Structure 1
Amino acid sequence: MDADGTTGGTYTLLLTLPQAVDIAVGALGTHRFPGGAYAYTGSALGSGGFARVDRHRRVARGDHDVRHWHVDYLTGHSATELVDVVTSPGVDAECAIARRLPGGPVEGFGASDCGCRSHLAVGEDIETLRATVASVHQN
């Protein structure tokens, strides 16, 4: 269990890329990621709970180089900065949040186990994405 007594929930990683980059994303192939702000929404409802978020932070810092999920390829790129993480403990809202955010540059990104177009959104600035993400996580 996490410190707040839950076993996990939903999280959104807020990321920035200063310029466009081409990134190979596992089986999805190589894609162009425009410079800008990104929001990736995932689920941490499994046995590890929010430990998954800690793993994402280690990949972003370069402390862990195993690429297991689509987002690992983005967070593990040297140009990507993990700015913040928004969490909703005990809530299963991954797809609801992904549907409320703007579209992303890669169809199927983080959405191989659901019917969503993508769980990665791209926006013009981090504060606009942060406000949208926070409002959706609160509902």
Structure 2
Amino acid sequence: MDPGTYTLIVELARDRTITVGALGERPFPAGAYAYTGSAFGPGGLARVDRHREIASGERETRHWHVDYLLGDAAATIESVVTAPEADIECAVARSIDAGVQGFGASDCDCESHLAHAGDVSALRRTVDDAHAAHR
């Protein structure tokens, strides 16, 4: 599969406190989340399938911060926006804003790669616009 950048749109049905690896316990209010990542290693955007397996309970091993959120029973992946061949991870994450401090940004200088919003439709439009602006 092609390499590229992706954003997962996740719905969290209820307020949760989730232990996120080395970040420790974090509160996650119910609502919509957008996690932006990149997949330029082996397998490319097949990484999205791995995230889907975590969300569905088919896979247990957590590698990335988002895996801890996706592994919670209250979380579901609503949709995914991809940008094959485009290395725009940080630009998209910064455009979406409203970050959850430190989440998913341990290998760059961004404040966060996870945004939270109350409305999934509005967040999806923001994600679509951010991907379009940086392609």
Fold-level similarity (TM above 0.5): yes
Alignment RMSD (CA, Å): 0.9
The alignment's TM-score, normalised by the length of structure 2, stands at: 0.95
Equivalences for residues 1-139 of structure 1 within 5 A? 2=1, 7-105=2-100, 107-139=101-133
The separation in 2 between residues aligned to 1:38 and 1:132, in whole angstroms, is 11
Q: Give 5+ residue unaligned stretches, structure 2.
A: none
The alignment's TM-score, normalised by the length of structure 1, stands at: 0.92
Confirm or deny: 8 A CA contact 2:16 2:28 kept in the other structure. Answer: yes
- The Cα of 1:8 is off from its aligned counterpart by 1.2
Q: Which amino acid aligns with 2:13?
A: P
- The Cα of 1:102 is off from its aligned counterpart by 3.0
User: Match of 1:67, SS?
Assistant: coil
User: Match of 1:14, SS?
Assistant: strand
Q: Give 5+ residue unaligned stretches, structure 1.
A: none
Moved over 6 A (4+): none
The separation in 1 between residues aligned to 2:7 and 2:97, in whole angstroms, is 14
Identity of aligned residues (%): 56
**Which structure has greater helix proportion?**
2
